[in-house]
């Protein structure tokens, strides 16, 4: 499946039933799929598979690349919500081990929060 086509389809689907006018305006401006909205910021997945952020205090139309761990956590969230986007997740490398903090689940504290050690992947690369 072409990931660009899939994200484009999901953006169009979102725009048919937006959550609110502000989010709709950001999606239309960026042509990106909203993944997470929190206090003062929204993380979106661009049609190229890049995670971008928009913060309330930025001028309209300003988007920046999301930084780690938010980038990886956003990809995990997107893949959970939209199974067709799983190919955006990093592949578990040979020799990687289950995360000791979340025991391979990717979530902590009664599975309510993404693990800060593995960014929700459930695995960590072993140091060489």
20 pLDDT higher than 90: no
Average confidence (pLDDT) over 59-65: 68
Share of the chain above pLDDT 90, in %: 53
pLDDT tens track for 67-78:
888 889 999 999
| Average per-residue pLDDT for the chain | 87
Q: How far, in Å, CA of 108 to CA of 58, rounded?
A: 32
Owner of token pair 């929204």: 42
For the entire predicted model, the pTM comes to: 0.83
Closest CA to 105 of 91, 96, 118, 90: 118
49 pLDDT higher than 70: yes
Is the alpha carbon torsion for 20, 106, 55, 33 positive or negative? negative
Tokens for 53, please give them. 């952020």
């Amino acid at each position: 499946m072409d990931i660009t086509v899939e994200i484009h389809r999901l953006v169009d689907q979102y725009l048919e039933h937006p959550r609110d006018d502000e989010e709709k305006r950001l999606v239309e401006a960026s042509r990106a799929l909203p993944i997470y909205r929190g206090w003062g910021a929204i993380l979106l997945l661009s049609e190229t598979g890049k995670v971008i952020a928009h913060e309330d205090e930025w001028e309209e139309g300003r988007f920046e690349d999301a930084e780690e761990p938010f980038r990886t956590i956003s990809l995990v969230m997107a893949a959970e919500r939209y199974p067709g986007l799983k190919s955006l997740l990093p592949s578990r490398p040979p020799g990687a081990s289950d995360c000791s903090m979340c025991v391979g689940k990717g979530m902590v504290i009664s599975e309510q929060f993404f693990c800060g050690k593995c960014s929700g992947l459930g695995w960590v690369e072993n140091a060489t």
